[in-house]
Structure formats: structure tokens, C-alpha cells
Structure 1
């Protein structure tokens, strides 16, 4: 009897942990998903969280009246803080809006071009009323983008100032080639110097007094005029093309966020 009670107590303790994990990933305030669906989505999110060393979330609501972008950014900030790795998909049933807010490395993984594909998939499922599939499409696309890595030539562009910041990552092949070239150059320099300055005995003294020469001259520089030229870099279009594309960002509450939204 005591063993049975211990087993029941263990199961009672274990079950809430799973529910808490699911509710942390999926905050279904609009009651669009079943408990089983929330658990499945939470498991799907865990694989992404491990790779990005951050967290992704899904939030549904039918009471929000704020601007979806501001609301999603604030919700993501409240969960992970400013500029940490993560993403939050907002399904706003009250305003019939979808909005994805990204932060940290998820801004670089989900470029504007990739964002369009993700929102296309989510929007299609939302219009069909399949909210579980819409959530799965978000996580599936996010997983695919993270697995593919940050595209080459990727950059961030601030939507307000037009400032462009390029993302540069060193691939293993580039690292290996750079290491070999640096090693060969260092060895060649060492051998060259050793051969040029190698002496037969240790009694040699460099005649620095005879060979030294010092010339001092006076020079004055005057600044006449200076000019500063600024220009606004236009936001690139999302009409395809080569390269990794960019991620449009904006500032909110002291943090930098990416993402975008749609109506459904």
C-alpha cells in the first residue's frame, strides 16, 4: 500500500511539470489549442531552444487592443529580456493579426525574405481556422532556418535610421585556410630573419654610434575646413535575388527587435 501511495505521489509531481513546460512555451489565452497540442508544440520548441541557446514562444489572445508589434515586443522582452535570443509568435484573434517578434540571434536567422515565407505558411493555416497547424508552421520554419544557419551576406538594417550592420561569420573551411596561410607566413618570416642575421660567433657588436642618425624637423598642421556628408540608405526590397538578404530591425524599450506581421 505504501509503495502504491509513493508511486501515485511521484506521478502527481511529474505530471504538473510537463504542463508547466507547455504553458511556458504556449500561452494560449484565447483557448485555441488543446492540452495535447500545447504539449506537442512545447516539445517541438525545445529542439529550437537548444540550438539557439534561447527560447521561442507562442501567444494567443482575444483581448489585446495594443499595436500588435508593440505588444509582441513587450511580451518577448518580459520573458527573455532585451537583446537575448528568442522569438514570439502572436496570434491576435481580437484584431485578426499575426505578428512575429524576434530578438538576438533569431533576428539574423529569420531574415526579411525568410520571414515572408514563415508568415505565408502561418497566415494560410489561420485563414483555414487551423490554429494548431499555424503554430506548427511557425516552429517548423524556425527550425529549418536555424538548421540552415545565418545566410551568407546577411545584414541588419534599422528601419528608422537606415543604418546597416553586416553579419560576418567564419566558416570552418575559412578558418582552416586562414590558419594554414598564417602558419606558413610565420614560418617563412622566422626562417628569413634567422638566415639574414645569423652570426658565426657571439662577439659581434653593432656599431650603433657610427650608424645612428637623427634628424629633427619642425612641422605645423592647420585645419582649414572639414565636411561631413550623410546619406540615408534605403530599405532593400524583398523581391528575391542573391545573397542572404537583410533583417529589418527597430528599437523598443531599450532593445532591438526584428520580425513583422500580417492580417488574416
Structure 2
């Protein structure tokens, strides 16, 4: 009987300890500075869940009072530790010790949150940060993140590595281009169909093509060998003009991962 109680105690500890660890790993709010009330944290989590569902990215809100590292680098390393290298994610970090607020992006969120969109998001957050309304600041961050994701990756989007100057461009189709392509496909298909009907004078429901007698199959083996590849790089100045949310995303390397984002003091 004496051996049962220690075994039962260990079993209970493992079950509840493991559950707590999993919950902590999944928790999107890490309020070490105690800037939010329990009710506010519940509200923020409720707002984060649908954003994560549609972006396929993790969303974190982090605060602390004892950071001695560069604030942007801390936010990058925090997300790197939570989701790994180059995974989809975005972090809003409030550094109370250095009076800075940071947005760090990774994976697909680098492309949705361009430099211009980051600046516009920081513009929306800054008044709340300076007035000490951190909950409102976090809400503005989430609202802007959701809004810009819904806007899609801007046309002509590119990434600029701030350390090497390498430019990587991404081709995205606009709604107009998609509609033109769709209409053109329908028109061309209709023309092709009409020509074939006229040429062969086919009648629906009565004609059957003798595919078994007139078909053949010839399989060949082909190997393609890549001989040379080239990467062209050039520096593109950051676009700070007002207006829409297009343009590029400046990136940096932290811990072997690629991150975008920016920040300000308050």
C-alpha cells in the first residue's frame, strides 16, 4: 500500500506538469511586466485566435522590465525560441526597461507587413504607448495586423537584406490581373471548342471517338542537369512616402533566422 501513494503522486505530477508546460508553450501572451489585467489578457487572446487561424502564423504579445539586450534583437530571439527559424509569426514587444515598443515579423508575415505597413502600424500604436494605455496599444497592433493581412501581399513586393543588400522579388497577381486571365481563358477555350466542333462537325450524344484504336503511349526518360545559376543583387532605398501599404520589407538575420519589423521609443 505504501508504494501506491508515491507512484500515484508521480503520475499526477507528470500529467498536470505536462499540461501546464504545453499550455505555456501555446500561450500567445507573455506579460512579464504585468501591464494587462486578467480580463484584458482574455480579450487579447480572443482577438489573437482568429488572426492566427487565417494567417497560419503565431501571434505573440510580450512585455518585460529587465531586458538588457537590443529590443529588436530580443523580440527576434523570443520568436525564434517559440516557433523556430523562418516560421510564420509576428511579435509585439513592449520593453519597459528601455521604453521601446517593437514589431518583429517572421516567415509569411514579413511579406504582409512591409516597411510602410510597419510604420503605419507603429503610428497607430504610438499615442496609446505614450499615454500608458498598453492594452489599447496591443489592440491597435492586432487590428492593423489583421487588416494588412486581409489586404494581401502588395504587388511588386520585394525583400531587402539590410546586411548584404540582396533583393528578392515576389510576383503577386492583382485582382484585375486574375480577372483578365480568367476572362481570357474562357474566351480562348470557347474559340478552341467552337473551331473543333465546326471542323469535325460533331454532334453531342451521338459521336464517340475511337480512342482505343487511335491512341498510343510512348514513355521516354529525360534527365535535366543544372549547370549554372546566378543571383543579381542591388540596393533599393526604403520608400518612406505616405500613401498605400505597398513596397518592400527590410530583413535582418538573428540566430540564423530571417526577421523583419521595426520599433520606436515611448
Give TM-score scaled by structure 1 length: 0.71
Distance 2:182 2:260 in 1: 35
**Does residue 233 of structure 1 match 2:235?**
yes
In 1, Cα distance between equivalents of 2:235 and 2:166: 7
1:246 is aligned to 248
Cα shift readout 1:52-107 (whole Å, capped 9, x = no counterpart): 11111100000110111111001111111111111001100001111111011111
**d(CA) in 1 for partners of 2:143, 2:194:** 55
The residue number in structure 2 matching 1:157 is 160
Number of aligned residue pairs: give it: 219
Aligned ranges 1:202-241 → 2 under 5 Å: 232-240=234-242
List per-residue Cα deviations over 1:20-44 (Å, max 9, x = no partner).
5898111000011111100100110
Does structure 1 retain, via aligned residues, the 8 Å contact 2:110–2:261? yes
Residue 47 of structure 2 corresponds to residue 49 of structure 1: no
- 1:110-259 alignment, distance < 5 Å: 110-171=113-174, 174-175=177-178, 177-178=180-181, 181=184, 232-240=234-242, 244-259=246-261
Listed one character per residue, the Cα deviations across residues 92-140 of structure 1 (whole Å, up to 9, x for unaligned) are: 0001111111011111111111111111222211110111111111111
**Closer/same/farther in 2, CA of residues 112 and 240 from structure 1, 3 Å limit:** same
Which one is further off, 246-255 or 94-103?
A: 246-255
Deviations 1:220-253 (A, max 9, x none): xxxxxxxx9x774132231236671111111122
Name which one, 1 or 2, has greater alpha-carbon Rg. 1
State the match for 1:38 in structure 2. 41
Name the CA distance, whole Å, in 2 between partners of 1:37 and 1:241: 33
Q: Which residue of 1 aligns with 2:7?
A: none
Residue 161 and residue 122 in structure 1: after superposition, are their counterparts in 2 closer, same or farther (change >3 A)? same
- SS of alignment partner, residue 76 of structure 2: helix
Unmatched tracts of structure 2, length 5 or more: 1-15, 200-229
Mind listing any 5+ residue stretches in structure 1 that lack a counterpart?
1-12, 197-227
Q: Distance in 1 between matches of 2:235 and 2:93?
A: 30
Runs of 4+ with >6 A deviation: 186-193
